[in-house]
Amino acid sequence: MTPNKPIEIYEVGAYGELTARPNPEGLEIVTVPDFDEMIPTIEKRLGRQLTAIQIEQERQSAPAIALTKEEAEKDATRPFEHVTSEFIPSA
């Protein structure tokens, strides 16, 4: 993907890659599942707590999607029980 290509609605990729690109439509980049919900699973897999720097590093590689603000707000209320640890990037 070209780093200067604007992100498009419903585009998926790593959170850090999407947030680094131009966003002229003001889309929200949403991690799926919510990144805060992934932290305990990542820490359990690693057998330790993450530092603030490690949390941000993990966030950058988290799966994400570009949504409108309205869709992102609606999406925040939807549970992601179907997503398992296999979808969480390894450290």
Q: Domain segments of the chain: what residues?
A: 14-86
Q: For 8-59, what is each residue's pLDDT tens digit?
A: 999 999 999 999 999 999 999 999 988 999 999 999 999 999 999 999 999 9
- Please state, for a pLDDT cut of 70, what percent of the chain lies above it: 80
- The Cα–Cα gap between 74 and 68 comes to 10
Q: What count of other Cβ atoms lies within 10 Å of the Cβ of residue 15?
A: 21
What band does 82 get if pLDDT is binned at 50, 70 and 90?
very low
Q: Angle between the 52-61 and 35-46 helix axes, to the nearest 10 degrees?
A: 110
> How much is the pTM?
0.75
